[in-house]
């Protein structure tokens, strides 16, 4: 009977390869599809109202795959981690989307602190001042075809977070903004 020769060096090579790959996997910074470009702007002064005069100190653009930014009670993406500033910042998002099926749609915005949601240039709902993470529902009828939405958000101090979901009125399935479905698509 033939036996497979035991190669100690090969065993150690395999072990080193596995360890190296595990480390690379662990330390590679996360990456997501850039569906939305968020413009995040740090304000010089404290923000108490979404409509207040802005005094922008610096801005940055962050690409995210979906509006799921409320990890650990902070303005954090589950994979990308913290993407905002330590406090007093605005976030602006202006993005197109395609409606695949005409009908009534429900948009759910959970924010800590304020927000304004507009679709096709028409304001749907808003929360102007600070609050803990709370969900608002905004309804609209949308026809098949291209549309756009605009989401403005601000964080004052303390905990933060922003989530945005949608669903078709007669279907109980809920999706994050950014996730394609049989109703909406984003890219």
CA separation for the pair 96, 147 (Å, rounded): 6
Does 86 engage in binding with another protein (CB under 8 A)? yes
Tell me which H or E stretch contains 12. Answer: helix 8-27
Supply φ then ψ for residue 179, to 5 degrees: -90, 125
Does 8 engage in binding with another protein (CB under 8 A)? yes
**Residue number with CB closer to another protein (1 or 27):** 27
CA separation for the pair 116, 152 (Å, rounded): 5
Q: Which stretch binds another protein (CB under 8 A): 13-21, 111-119, 141-149, 167-175?
A: 13-21
Does 100 engage in binding with another protein (CB under 8 A)? no
Does 85 engage in binding with another protein (CB under 8 A)? yes
Does 21 engage in binding with another protein (CB under 8 A)? no
Using CB under 8 A, count the residues that bind another protein. 21
Q: Which of 176, 120, 181, 118 is nearest to 146 (CA)?
A: 120
Q: Which of 70, 102, 92, 109 is nearest to 150 (CA)?
A: 92
Considering only residues 51, 55, 58, 185, which one is a binding residue for another protein as defined by CB under 8 A? Answer: 58
Where on the chain is the footprint of another protein (CB under 8 A)? 8-10, 12-13, 16, 19-20, 23, 26-27, 29, 42, 57-58, 80-82, 85-86, 89
């Amino acid at each position: 009977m033939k036996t497979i020769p035991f190669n100690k060096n090969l065993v150690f090579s395999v072990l080193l390869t596995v360890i190296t790959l595990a480390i690379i996997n662990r330390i590679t910074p996360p990456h997501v599809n850039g569906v939305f470009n968020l413009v995040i702007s740090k304000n010089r002064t404290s923000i108490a109202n979404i409509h207040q005069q802005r005094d922008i100190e610096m801005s940055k653009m962050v690409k995210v795959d979906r509006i799921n930014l409320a990890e650990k009670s902070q303005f954090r993406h589950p994979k990308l981690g913290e993407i905002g500033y330590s406090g007093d910042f605005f976030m602006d998002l202006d993005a197109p989307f395609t409606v695949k099926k005409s009908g009534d749609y429900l948009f759910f915005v959970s924010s800590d602190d304020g927000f304004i949601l507009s679709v096709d240039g028409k304001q749907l709902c808003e929360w102007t001042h600070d609050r803990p993470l709370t969900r608002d529902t905004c309804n609209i009828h949308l026809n098949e075809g291209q549309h756009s939405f605009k989401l403005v958000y601000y964080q004052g101090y303390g905990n933060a977070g922003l989530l945005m979901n949608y669903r078709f009125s007669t279907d109980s399935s809920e999706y994050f903004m950014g996730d394609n479905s049989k109703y909406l698509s984003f890219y």
